[in-house]
A and B are shown apart, each in its own frame.
Chain A
Amino acid sequence: DQQVKQNSPSLSVQEGRISILNCDYTNSMFDYFLWYKKYPAEGPTFLISISSIKDKNEDGRFTVFLNKSAKHLSLHIVPSQPGDSAVYFCAAVVSYFNKFYFGSGTKLNVKP
């Protein structure tokens, strides 16, 4: 029962361009969404989050968009840098139950 899906296992982008990573979810009870970045041999690290009461949250080069009607979440990285190359996981939370559901990840490769 995969409630959070990242349908693109990989994405390749040229340095300086925009990277768009997508995430879909099925559970309408999710009220908090997060993106994590993971480098090889390291644990995932928190990147950015958004509450379900918002539709956009921005932090520097990273912007997360939430479309509740479509149950869709996206992460925009502008401009993309080679150091952004990593696996990105989206996560969704039902706060009341405090359960995090993670997608399967998208491997981003930013080419110099």
Chain B
Amino acid sequence: DSGVTQTPKHLITATGQRVTLRCSPRSGDLSVYWYQQSLDQGLQFLIQYYNGEERAKGNILERFSAQQFPDLHSELNLSSLELGDSALYFCASSEGIAGPWGTGELFFGEGSRLTVL
């Protein structure tokens, strides 16, 4: 158990719909990261928040948005869903900032599997 909680674990929806994925980081972790893993693909970095503020952005579509709340939980909103958005969405958290002065560990949740029909 990594201590990172993601809900829902599975979600099936239709094209054009909107969904919200939720992530609770490990206690004390200030950074939250969102990753997308499509079939046979690696982990694609979407976005990172640190203590409520957006810190880094990856290949996140404009139809997707995220935020981190004062209690440090985060939500990833996916709208106007397309078939290609079907994927595993992982949330990860870390205490602070990676680098030679830190462990650099990301602790991952078990993921939310989104299926768009």
**A103: shortest Cβ distance to chain B, in Å?**
5
Number of A interface residues at 8 Å Cβ cutoff, please give it.
31
B53 interface contact, C-beta 8 A? no
CA A49 to CA B104, docked complex, whole Å = 8
CA A32 to CA B105, docked complex, whole Å = 11
| Chain B residues in the interface with A (C-beta under 8 A) | 2, 4, 31, 33, 35, 40-45, 48, 50, 55-56, 58, 90, 92, 97-100, 103-111
Contact A44–B45 (Cβ < 8 Å) = no
In the complex, what residue of chain A is closest to B107 when comparing beta carbons?
Answer: A46
Q: Scan A31-44; emit 1 where CB is below 8 A from any B CB, else 0.
A: 11010100001111
From A31, A44, A91, A105, contact of B100 by CB (8 A): A31
A26 interface contact, C-beta 8 A? no
A89 interface contact, C-beta 8 A? yes
- The majority secondary structure among interface residues of chain B is loop
From B42, B48, B109, contact of A104 by CB (8 A): B42
22 A-B pairs with CB atoms under 8 Å apart are A31-B100, A32-B98, A32-B99, A32-B104, A34-B105, A36-B108, A43-B2, A43-B111, A44-B90, A49-B104, A89-B42, A91-B106, A93-B98, A93-B99, A95-B98, A95-B99, A95-B100, A98-B50, A98-B56, A98-B97, A100-B98, A105-B43
Interfacial chain A residues near B48, Cβ < 8 Å:
98-99
CA A44 to CA B56, docked complex, whole Å = 20
CA A53 to CA B106, docked complex, whole Å = 21
Contact B45–A100 (Cβ < 8 Å) = yes
A45 interface contact, C-beta 8 A? yes
Interfacial chain A residues near B110, Cβ < 8 Å:
41-43
CB contacts under 8 Å to B, within A1-58, are: 4, 6, 9, 31-32, 34, 36, 41-46, 49, 51-53
**A36: shortest Cβ distance to chain B, in Å?**
8
From A32, A41, A44, A101, contact of B108 by CB (8 A): A44
CA A34 to CA B102, docked complex, whole Å = 12
Contacts A43-B4, A43-B109 given; indicate if A51 touches B100 (C-beta within 8 A). yes
CA A108 to CA B42, docked complex, whole Å = 15
